[in-house]
Structures are given as structure tokens and as C-alpha cells.
Structure 1
Amino acid sequence: MHQSAGSHEPPPGCPAHGRTPLYGPEFGADPEGYYAYLREFGATAPVDIAPGVPVELVTSYSAALRILQNPSTFVRDSRRWRDLNEGRIPADSPALPMMGYRPNALFSDGAAHARLRNAVTDSLATVDEHRLTRLVQRVAEYLISQFSSRSIGNADLVADYAQQLPLLVYSDLFGCPADIGDRIILGISGIFEGSDGANEVLGGALMELIALKRRHPGDDVTSRMMQHSSGLSDAEMANQLVTLLSGGTAPLQSLISVGSALMLGDDRYVQTQSSAGLLVEDAVNDVLWNYAPIANYAVHYPVHDVELDGKVLKADDPVVISFAAANTDPALAQDRALSGGRAHLAFGAGPHVCPAKDPAMVIAVTAIETLLNRLPDIELRIDLKDLSWVPAPWSRSLITLPVRFTPRAPQVRQAPQSAGSGAGAGRPSAPAASAKNTRWSKFLTWLNGGV
């Protein structure tokens, strides 16, 4: 699926002098070609991350690591953003939802960051890996049952599987009852799709969930975060949950869909009579190295002018880490071979390294393994090289993943004792009449033996 970097000439639409636009269909079709061209500027290069939004993009692995591991010089608080403060950023810029300040761990530094982050990491650490695996298997089986019984034997693994699975898993981990879970999924999905009012729907649902857990704590991540010694307020709780949802669902969607594409269409992974192929874990690591789900993000602001590899980074001007370019830095080739595949930056590094990287690996690997086990004859409907990618600078994700398989008859399911780490535990049951024809309540109905 890699694109050729070509001759490293300025990409189409790129001015001969000035900033390279890191958005639009040309970038989406060949990001590797853009990164190859930008490396000629040195460790960093001037780009527009969105129309009228200039940033310095870090394409060097060593420079990225230096910034990520130096929080005293490079901070995350975007209230320092000079161009925004001086009115030069368009008010309707698509970069603002990604770069604008929010009172959460992602945009905090020092003691404030440690307090918020510890509440998240300590709560996530209580999630049992075996229970999480069983939960993912159940969610995966439910989603597969929804599309595998179609008589046509076709599906889009992005829309039908990879987009939905993380949302259902998190709804369980957060201990959501049916009605609140439906609105949380509606809200976070709407934010990714740009739907009007989605942010209000999500915010209202999360505040209801928080109020419920204050009254009725359960065996779930939301309750554990509330009970943490950090003493998070309701507003802080809501902001941390939004961060976990937005920062976890989209990257996991990419990890599951691209990993599935490799397992189904890359000769190194496809099992044949003469070869067993590589493992799902190998495919997931391949994605993390070569198709970093969070491609360009982790915005930092130098607290003073800093010289980095011969270039001066100005104080309070945004510096964006290109995880995609850093991971594929040609200077890293030998180190990649020696590291055993574990030194990628797809989860970040330093004090802001992803707090959910271990659960994310469990979810992605289990989701792909369950898919392959339940549909052993599943295959791509188009060649791997012909798959289309979302033309966005922030993430590397497939638009669709069309597959075919032999349809399966719907299965009757018996209700289990427990759905996993949160569903049905430590909270009042939602009345059956309130269950709506939406994703979370439909899953709960199926889980309890319904259809």
C-alpha cells in the first residue's frame, strides 16, 4: 500500500517557495511522497496543516524523540499559540477542534498534567486483560453476526466493523446504560462526521453518566476515575472521558481496518498451503510503523526560541510531530531492524505517551483474530494497492475496506453471566421500553439473548 516517493520534487499544489499544504486529495493519495520532499528541509519543514494554519512539521525520528522527551522546553498548552492569540487563524478552521485548548491531560503540562493523567492511567490499569479480550470477542461476534448473515456476502469492514467496535467496547468499559450509551455513540460519531449539535449531544450524555456514577458507582473505568485520589470534578471527568473517546476510537478504527487489510491482501500475511503467513500481532505492528493511525499531531510550543538541527523554532509557534514521517525516517532503517519492532512512535513518547496503548493492542489484535476465525474465507474485493485513504493530515485511515465471504445463518445467542468489565455491572438496569434502535442498546439486546 506504500506510495512511491518519486523524485522528491515539490508535490502538486505546493508552492515553489513557502509552505507545503498538508491537506487535500493530493496529500491523501501520496503522504509518503510529501514526507520525502519535506525531509529535504531538514529535521523540520514549514507546512500548512489546514488553510491559513502554519506549523513546523517534524519529520525526523531523532528530532521527534527529542521534543517528546523534553517537556520543560516543548509544552502542550495551546493557549500559548501566537497566531491564534493574535487573530491570524480563521475562526472556522478545521484545525481548531484538533489544536484548540481543552482542559484535559492532552493539553496540560507539569503538575496539572500529572494529576489528570494519573487518574486516567491508574483507572485503565485496573482493566483486566482477559476480561477485555472476552469483551472484544463478544462485540466482534455481534458485529460480524450483523453483516455476515446478509445474503450477498459483502461488507465494508470500515463502516460495518472497525468504526463500531471501539465505540461499543468503550461504552462497556465506561459502564454505560443503554440510553446514555446510545447518545454517547451518537455524539462521538457525529463529531467525527461533522454533524451539527454532536458536541452538545456527547457533552450532555457524559454529564448524565457522571451523575449516575456519583450516585451508583460500578465496576467500570468511569467510577474508578471518580474514586481516584486526584479528586476530579465533574467537568474534569467529562473532559478526560472525551479525550479517551476521541483519542481512542479513531486510531483503533484505523489499526483494525488497516491491520485487517494487510492480513487479507498482503502476501506476507496471507496464509497458503505452503506458508503459514505472519501473525496478526505482526500486522498490527506493521500498521504502527508504516501507517501510523495518528499521522501528524502532538502539537508542542517552545517556551523560548530553540535551535533544532540548525533551524530556530520560534517561541509559541506550533510544532507538530509527524509520527508517520518519523517512523519511516530513512535514517532509522538500521535501528528499526535492531529494535525488534518496538521503538515506533505511533503511541508517542515521553510524559504524554498514550495511556491506553496496552488496551489498544489487545483490542486491535483480538478484533482482527476474531474476524478471521469467524469468517475463514473472507477476502478483499479489490487489490490492496487500490484501497482509498481519507485525505486528512491528522490520521491515516481507510475510507472503505470492501470484503466478500460466504454468508452465515444468524445464530441464536444465550445470555451470558457478564458482558465484560462494565456492562450490566454496578448500575441500575435500563428498562426494556427505553431501548432504542441504536448501536449500544441493540448490542445489549443481542448480548442478553435477543435478536
Structure 2
Amino acid sequence: MQQHPDTTGIPAGCPAHSNTPLYGPEFGSDPERHYAHLRSLGHSTPVDIAPGVEVELVTSYDASLYILQNPALFVRDSRRWNALNEGRVPADSPALPMMGYRPNALFSDGAAHARLRQAVTDSLATVDQVRLVRLTQQSADYLISRFSSEPLGQAELMAAYAQPLPLLVFGDLFGCPPEIGDRVIVGISGIFEGTAGADEILGGALAELIALKRRQPGEDLTTRLMVHSARLSDEEVLHQLVTLLSGGTAPLTAAIGTSSALYLSDDWPAGLPVEDAVVQTLWNYAPIANYAAHYPTQDVELGGRTLRANDPVLISFAAANTDPKLTEHREQLSSKAHLAFGAGPHACPAKDPAFLIAATAVESLLNRLPDIEMRVPFKELAWAPTPWSRSLITVPVRFTPRAVPSATASAPTASRTAQTVQPSGVPSPGPSAPRPAQDASQYKGGLFSRFRAWMRGE
């Protein structure tokens, strides 16, 4: 009688000798179980990041840190990708927008990376912390004012709060006039929703913004990138903006949504500050779950496996942060030791502002709606079925309906100690049916325009 192997505990769809699919409803429903299975196979193992797209996924904290901090042996330029160059990656693969080469700091190495990275970090360093707190509070007040007076006293925080808040903050920081800001929001939102033509909308809006700043420089991040001593071309400025905007908004959305839900959960210990909820989110629910493709410059032996030159090696920030070998002594580590913001030369350059925005957003929500509570237990919330990000689909809440103060009432509160979060990227929320792009006339009076009008008291 033939003996069948014991596959207890192995995720369905992962029979022996086939890769674990890191996408779809089954993965999204219980990613921790998938990561536990993958860890049982070693420091790294091949997975399918999308249909027909195999990558080596690193789940060990120590191995992840070794790769992230070894840029001579593991580079980021995806033009090396063997399978892509050999025509083995489907042309319509959802992995291509995430892993395909772009002329930005994220996909550059050596001197090219240092030049672009310096322009980004120097520009971000000019952001005033007090102004950032105030802008986040104003954005929070505006969004809360849109749903807090609902007669039923109910809202869905991801769509009503966590998703639009980073877009409002970034639109202002990058100096977008209202009409351009509306189109930037439509473009970025469309990219994550699978809207046809969203890339063109975002690219066109940013090209117009750059042209405007050439004529009328301002005290904003776009202008600072353009006048930096690295002398970026307009094309290079555009690609850095795409990375900062799209790569910053999605992780912040996930961090704000998860941190809010975690803080409001029945299991959250009373008395702990909001910052602790953000830190725990970064450790246990890394907003960028699996990303940062590296390409070995030669065959490398790692944990008993051979990583072939120019085959993609992805870091599972989610699995590395929850590596049992790490969690045994995690209390002795710094709260910043997580890999949610990456590590090494490609670590997120905006980790401190990102942490500040997330913590201020959660605190503002609690201050404006002090009796807010979850309508569903945290453990029953659903996660987006995508390999790239760890983001809640919905965060349903209830509260006592109330009026919200105008924007002029906003002011900075307590200062914070800046901390750390994620690698850059453009996480995709998963497959959805493409929707037609809007024409330009439909952007007028969009979210950013209404926010700016609200700030003016109109």
C-alpha cells in the first residue's frame, strides 16, 4: 500500500515539490501560518510571488539583515533579473509594477544610488517636525469632520481616514496646487485600486507640478529636490516623486489603520501610549510584508541553499520580524530593531517622519472621538490578500456623533521622539477589475481641493 507524506500544517495549495503561493485569499486569511511553514524549510525558500513568478523569499531575521547590509554582493538593479530577461515573466504580471526597474534610488546601486539618495534625504531633512504634526492634525480634523457627524455614529476607518490622510499630508508637503493635488490623489489611489490609466494620470500631474516649480519655486519638497546640488533631471525628479508618494502613502495607510485597530482592541493594555501601538504594528504587522528584491552578483550559499546570480531574492519583513529565534529575546532589543523600514543603504529615508505621521494620526483620532471603539474584534478583521503589504481591508468603528472644530483650532501637541519604519515600494492591494480613468474635468473639487478650501474656512 502506497504511503502518502504527512502534510499536516502545510498550507493548502502547497504540495511537496511545488512553491508556496504568496498571494490570494488563502494566504491573506492566515499569512502567519504560511510564514511558519516557510521558516520550517530554512532561512529562505522559493515561493511564487505572483502566478508564474518565482522568487527566493528570506524569512530569517539574521539572513535578512545580512542581505540588506551587504550591497556589494546583493544589488537592487532589477535589469539583472534572469527570468524577466529570458521572457519567463508574464507580460501582464502584477509583479512587474512592483519589481520592474525604475530610474530611482530604490532600484539603483553604487554611485548612482548615493547621488539620488542624498537628494532625497537632504530634502526630507528640511521638513519641520512642528509643521508636520500640525499638518497631520489638520488633515485628521478635516477627515474626521466628514464622518463624525453621521447620525448612526459609525465609520470605516481605512477608507474614511487611513487611506486619504497620507495623501493630504503629502500633497501639501510637495507643494501641490489644489487641482494638481486632486489629480495626484486620483492617480495614486487608482494605482492601488487597479484603475486603468492611473499611472498616466499620476505621471501627467507630477510632470505638470515639476514644470510649475521650474517657473515658481516654493518652500516644498518638490522644489528642494529640483534645486539640490545633485542636479537631478526633470525625469529623475519625477521618478523620485513617484517613489516617495506611492511608496510612502500605502505603508502609512497600513500603519495608521493597524495601529488604530490595535489600540482600540479589547486586548490592548490600558495606559500604554499610542507610540507603543505603532511600534507593535511595525514589529508584528510590517506594512510592507515582502519586498526589496535583491540580485546576487554571483552564486551565494546562504543557510544551506544556493542563491543563483541574478535571480531575485525578496526579504520577508513580516516573517523576519516575527522570527521565533528573534522573539525569544526581543524585549532586550531596541524598539527600532525591527526591519519594517528596512536596513542598510536602502533603508527608508523617511522613517522618522513616517512614524510621526502615523502616531499623530492615531492620537488625533482618539482626541477628537474619545469614545470611539471597534465594532469587530481585532482578531476577526480581514487582511488584504496581497504578498506586498500587510494592510487591513476594513476597520469598522462606532462613536458618539459630534461636531468637529474647524481647521484653525488645530495646533501641535506634545513633541515626540522620532523612531523607525519601512522600505520604499509601491504595494499593490491585490487583484481587482480595472476601471476607466476619469477625464480632467472630474478632478475639479476633488479631495485635496476641498481640504485646502476647508483650511481657508470656506
* TM-score, normalization by structure 2: 0.90
Secondary structure of the 2:45 match is strand
Please give the alpha-carbon distance, in whole angstroms, between the structure 1 residues aligned to 2:409 and 2:211: 29
Partner of 1:305: 299
Structure 1: where are the runs of 5+ without partners? Answer: 1-6, 272-276, 418-432
Deviation at 1:411, TM superposition (A): 4.5
Please give the alpha-carbon distance, in whole angstroms, between the structure 2 residues aligned to 1:102 and 1:112: 13
Partner of 2:85: 85
Q: 1:220 to 1:52 in 2, by over 3 A?
A: same
- Which stretch shows the higher mean deviation, 14-23 or 96-105? 14-23
Does 1:63 pair with 2:63? yes
Instruction: Please give the per-residue CA displacement for 1:382-423, whole angstroms capped at 9, x wherever unaligned.
Output: 111110110000000000100011111354555999xxxxxx
Please give the alpha-carbon distance, in whole angstroms, between the structure 1 residues aligned to 2:334 and 2:293: 28
- 8 Å contact 2:104–2:240 — kept in the other structure? yes
Please give the alpha-carbon distance, in whole angstroms, between the structure 2 residues aligned to 1:367 and 1:285: 14
Partner of 1:163: 163
- 8 Å contact 1:61–1:326 — kept in the other structure? yes
Partner of 2:365: 371
Instruction: Please give the per-residue CA displacement for 1:228-252, whole angstroms capped at 9, x wherever unaligned.
Output: 1100000000000000011100000
Does 1:448 pair with 2:456? yes
Which amino acid is the alignment partner of residue 446 of structure 2?
T
Secondary structure of the 1:41 match is coil
Which amino acid is the alignment partner of residue 378 of structure 2?
L
Which amino acid is the alignment partner of residue 116 of structure 1?
L
Please give the alpha-carbon distance, in whole angstroms, between the structure 1 residues aligned to 2:15 and 2:229: 53
Please give the alpha-carbon distance, in whole angstroms, between the structure 1 residues aligned to 2:327 and 2:10: 24
Q: 2:324 aligns with which of 330, 333, 349?
A: 330
Secondary structure of the 1:347 match is coil
Please give the alpha-carbon distance, in whole angstroms, between the structure 2 residues aligned to 1:412 and 1:135: 13
Secondary structure of the 2:103 match is coil
Partner of 1:103: 103
Q: 1:31 to 1:414 in 2, by over 3 A?
A: closer
Please give the alpha-carbon distance, in whole angstroms, between the structure 1 residues aligned to 2:94 and 2:315: 18
Please give the alpha-carbon distance, in whole angstroms, between the structure 1 residues aligned to 2:211 and 2:279: 39
Deviation at 1:89, TM superposition (A): 0.5
Structure 2: where are the runs of 5+ without partners? Answer: 1-6, 412-440
Partner of 2:253: 253
Partner of 2:17: 17
Deviation at 1:335, TM superposition (A): 3.6
1:337-348 equivalent positions in 2, closer than 5 A? 337-348=331-342
- 8 Å contact 2:368–2:404 — kept in the other structure? no
- 8 Å contact 2:104–2:243 — kept in the other structure? yes
Deviation at 1:104, TM superposition (A): 0.5
Which amino acid is the alignment partner of residue 277 of structure 2?
A
Partner of 2:180: 180
Which amino acid is the alignment partner of residue 333 of structure 1?
T
- 8 Å contact 1:435–1:442 — kept in the other structure? no
1:7-406 equivalent positions in 2, closer than 5 A? 9-269=9-269, 271=270, 277-406=271-400
Secondary structure of the 2:40 match is helix
1:424-439 equivalent positions in 2, closer than 5 A? 436-439=444-447
Please give the alpha-carbon distance, in whole angstroms, between the structure 2 residues aligned to 1:59 and 1:298: 13
- 8 Å contact 1:297–1:321 — kept in the other structure? yes
* TM-score, normalization by structure 1: 0.91
Runs (4+) of structure 1 exceeding 6 A deviation are none
Which amino acid is the alignment partner of residue 302 of structure 2?
L
Please give the alpha-carbon distance, in whole angstroms, between the structure 1 residues aligned to 2:409 and 2:215: 27
Instruction: Please give the per-residue CA displacement for 1:314-365, whole angstroms capped at 9, x wherever unaligned.
Output: 0010000000000000111244111132200000000000000000011000
Aligned residues: 424
Please give the alpha-carbon distance, in whole angstroms, between the structure 1 residues aligned to 2:13 and 2:382: 20
Q: 1:413 to 1:42 in 2, by over 3 A?
A: closer
